[in-house]
Structure 1
């Protein structure tokens, strides 16, 4: 009898002891062909503190990396790449939510190593580059299609706990549409030395200028794509540098300018504090996430909302916004707010009724569609 794999259920939360759409593992579900191994590993979890968490996921990553090494030695580059990417993803889970301790930093180094191995035989190749900004250097990943003339490009903007090694699929999708790409860690994460502050947008501006200076790139046809915090950042960049950022795709993102109702604020506060209950650092250490309150949410709005930064009216380029209706971290009111403010035409949105944060449940639909959309919008610009 042919038994079909069980589809994960849906619950918008941050419980790492469950595998479900909208839940903790939403960040990586689309990166696994078979969720059986992931479910088995989650079933073995006893705690999230790093002494228990990191060894479990690093061991799984190590097994796949070793399998990749064997296939690589046998000349099976496609098989090796698949194993290395599986290894990379398990290492990425091990380092969650980031390099907050020496052990997490080791897992992050594992992740980068496995990703470099997975990228050794790419054609066109992956180029590891340095983006200069204000005397600092940001390491990023660049790929461009083979072409006898300059091509459009997209800056792929990462979020708060998923780094550039986890966005290689986006670069692949860009290439499939004839777009070059630059994948860069968000400020405050990975190999981006800038702190997470509103003026850190200058790091994204520097990345756009870096792309524009490359001979492979048509400087008048550059777009941007971001997910979660990257979905916010792409909007901030669009309003900061509209003369160079010509089309954007924002998957989730918060805050844009939408003021949450009292009930929505209470739900966001509850969700964030539930997440705070899981400690991913050393046993006995403090929480991995800050305590949240209505006052915290209000302060976040004052500091970060596009409306408060004075850039809302500068966002006039084509925008595609995507999210799940049941987003517990970035309520979809942000999308409706952007639809209600700005040009009458040029703004598009897709809200999935039975999905959560970033609508990863429908990744296989919206991800390739996003890069088709970017190609169409950038190609229509005057030469």
Structure 2
């Protein structure tokens, strides 16, 4: 038995669990008022009426169609207002309205969208597809713009899909004569390509390009979720494509894995250590997150909805029981020996009180393979927000642009 650093909280059922009312009032309303995770780009005026209706209608299961349907009229109205603003020449307002519509759709498709789902059978997939469309309407109005790029999965094998969809944003000054560093964002379990506006703005403000790609088993990723080596092929295809782009300085590429994406940032820091200058694993799992002991309590902690069901599907299992009993041996970066290899510079970031991924998953890595860097914040939960973001940007500056003046984020 692990003596969890989380302490008594490991056996605690967190107060937002059990109902939409508790979730909204005890956990989500405050970040919504601040437009922070998971409400980036959002406005509380859009969400409060939706949650009031969900509470009044006693809709407490986010996996139901009734949950998702509650959000769709608001998203449609915001998109229509955006279209009207654009027609009247107010592109700034239009972009804001489109982004607000996109984040309403994001929350509607919580907690998870599987690559296996189809819009004709999954309302969450339909909501995600609409989110992508309205988000691209917003990003087309940005300066510089963000665009969707779909590339062949050149290194596909087994059950991998044929194409890799990405969002790409380049600084206006980027050219073949002025190549720029690149941050490869590896998304999470519930945060996908259209959910990284602020991060993209911060990266662009430093003169770096952004390439955003979804991780295996989520959203539109073509990588076989059941194959532990599928991410290696995925990033090889992405990095090979990046190497053909004349604007990218491939000697200055860093990966940044977010939450579940942190697992893949760690793996890439080893497998692709010769192609990455550095990697940030932000809120990462590596080993204990797959243990039956941790998974037995994971649904009681800070994640807003049932976590293990989404994780099981994400890793290619047909049922939670099979996942709980077998995932650690198959996917653990320690059990599989991945982290026994050398790695590029790797920064491990998290909150010590993380109830989604145990902080032990970052700490244990310091005893394996090449040297690693870490910053863990006490009294902070999953991802360690807000303290970890300045650390991530400062570290990336030191890796990608060591001579640039530090940018205040």
TM-score for the superposition, normalised by structure 1 = 0.81
Structure 1 residues 174 and 15, CA gap change in structure 2 (3 angstroms): farther
Q: What root-mean-square deviation, in Å, do the aligned CA atoms of Structure 1 and Structure 2 show? A: 3.4
- Work out whether 1:192 is the aligned partner of 2:234: no
What is the rounded CA distance, in whole Å, between the counterparts of 1:142 and 1:129 in structure 2? 7
Structure 1 residue 108, shift from structure 2 partner: 1.5
- Partner of 2:70: helix, strand, or coil? helix
Q: Answer whether contact 2:270 2:344 (CA < 8 A) is retained.
A: no
Partner of 2:169: 143
Structure 1 residue 315, shift from structure 2 partner: 4.4
Structure 1 residue 16, shift from structure 2 partner: 4.3
What is the rounded CA distance, in whole Å, between the counterparts of 1:302 and 1:279 in structure 2? 19
Structure 1 residue 376, shift from structure 2 partner: 1.7
Within 5 Å, give how 1:46-65 maps onto structure 2. 46-47=58-59, 48=61, 49-65=63-79
- Work out whether 1:234 is the aligned partner of 2:248: no
What is the rounded CA distance, in whole Å, between the counterparts of 1:297 and 1:323 in structure 2? 23
Instruction: After superposition, give the CA deviation of every residue in 1:37-60 in whole Å (9 maximum; x if it has no partner).
Output: 424322221323533112211112
Partner of 1:308: 335
What is the rounded CA distance, in whole Å, between the counterparts of 1:167 and 1:184 in structure 2? 11
- Work out whether 1:31 is the aligned partner of 2:53: no
What is the rounded CA distance, in whole Å, between the counterparts of 1:313 and 1:277 in structure 2? 29
Within 5 Å, give how 1:111-126 maps onto structure 2. 111-126=131-146
Structure 1 residues 273 and 41, CA gap change in structure 2 (3 angstroms): closer
Within 5 Å, give how 1:110-259 maps onto structure 2. 110-133=130-153, 134=155, 136-145=162-171, 146-147=173-174, 148-196=177-225, 197-201=227-231, 202-256=233-287
Aligned with 1:329 (options 356, 371, 375): 356
Structure 1 residues 302 and 261, CA gap change in structure 2 (3 angstroms): closer
Structure 1 residues 29 and 272, CA gap change in structure 2 (3 angstroms): closer
What is the rounded CA distance, in whole Å, between the counterparts of 1:188 and 1:259 in structure 2? 16
Segments of structure 1 that go 5 or more residues without pairing to the other structure are 1-9, 281-288
Q: Answer whether contact 1:13 1:23 (CA < 8 A) is retained.
A: no
What is the rounded CA distance, in whole Å, between the counterparts of 1:216 and 1:163 in structure 2? 25
Structure 1 residue 296, shift from structure 2 partner: 4.3
Q: Answer whether contact 2:145 2:169 (CA < 8 A) is retained.
A: yes
What is the rounded CA distance, in whole Å, between the counterparts of 2:51 and 2:342 in structure 1? 42
- Partner of 1:306: helix, strand, or coil? coil
- Work out whether 1:358 is the aligned partner of 2:383: yes
Structure 1 residues 274 and 86, CA gap change in structure 2 (3 angstroms): closer
Segments of structure 2 that go 5 or more residues without pairing to the other structure are 1-13, 157-161, 311-316, 404-409
Q: Answer whether contact 2:351 2:379 (CA < 8 A) is retained.
A: yes
> Structure 1 residues 334-343 or 150-159, which shifts more?
334-343
Structure 1 residues 235 and 116, CA gap change in structure 2 (3 angstroms): same
Q: Which gives a bigger RCO, structure 1 or 2 (Cα 8 Å, sep 6+)?
A: 1
Aligned with 1:104 (options 110, 118, 124): 124
Q: Answer whether contact 1:155 1:182 (CA < 8 A) is retained.
A: yes
Instruction: After superposition, give the CA deviation of every residue in 1:266-311 in whole Å (9 maximum; x if it has no partner).
Output: 433655999449999xxxxxxxx98656x84452221111112222
- Work out whether 1:377 is the aligned partner of 2:399: yes
Structure 1 residues 75 and 272, CA gap change in structure 2 (3 angstroms): closer
Structure 1 residues 277 and 257, CA gap change in structure 2 (3 angstroms): closer
Structure 1 residue 312, shift from structure 2 partner: 0.6
Instruction: After superposition, give the CA deviation of every residue in 1:339-360 in whole Å (9 maximum; x if it has no partner).
Output: 333445x513132x33322234
Instruction: After superposition, give the CA deviation of every residue in 1:202-261 in whole Å (9 maximum; x if it has no partner).
Output: 112221222222111111111101111101111111111110122111111212468969
Q: Answer whether contact 2:303 2:356 (CA < 8 A) is retained.
A: no
Instruction: After superposition, give the CA deviation of every residue in 1:61-96 in whole Å (9 maximum; x if it has no partner).
Output: 112212211221222222211111110011112222
Partner of 1:78: 92
